[in-house]
Amino acid sequence: MNPINMNGYKNKKLREALRNFPWLRSIRRIIVKFYYQFRVSPVKRRSLKFLLKLVSKDRHAWLKSAVDTLMECEAQVFRFQSLYEQFPALKNIKGIKVVDESTMRKINRLYQAQFGMRKLENLNNRLSHYLECPFIVVPSVLEDLKN
């Protein structure tokens, strides 16, 4: 959990867990550093290579895959910061940075069913109607579709 979003109860429980399981401290430091990257300006932001410290031989293979994906898609993870420069009115909208699980399930269902989304127009229209919000297609995705 992001340290900024922790209330007193959760903070107390975290302290107890860290006291009982001291080996979690190094993992927590890395996670806090990751969350800090979202608050820093793009100029001061560090590479996400520090996440490799989470991965070791005895860790789950999916963790390595997740860390690799975060490092490969680093530009997309922090794209919301460049959106603020292009559209300053979006700066106070928290939803730009957060995609909730229910929305992702809807998108996955739509993708799996492929409701006639073979064209970009259909994809945009159906998703914006289904999600009841504007749907923005990133320029890098458009380039990938052309290729």
Write out pLDDT tens, residues 33-89. Answer: 888 888 888 888 888 888 888 888 887 778 888 888 888 888 888 877 777 778 788
Asked if the model's pLDDT at residue 131 lies above 80, the reply is no
Please report where in the chains the tokens 């292009």 appear, as a residue. Answer: 86
Specify whether the backbone of 132 is left (phi greater than 0), alpha (psi in -120 to 50) or beta.
left
Q: Which of 141, 96, 131, 95 is nearest to 110 (CA)?
A: 131
Distance CA(20)–CA(59), nearest Å, equals 20
Instruction: Find all residues with CB under 8 Å of 17, minimum gap 6, and list them.
Output: 24
pTM: 0.56
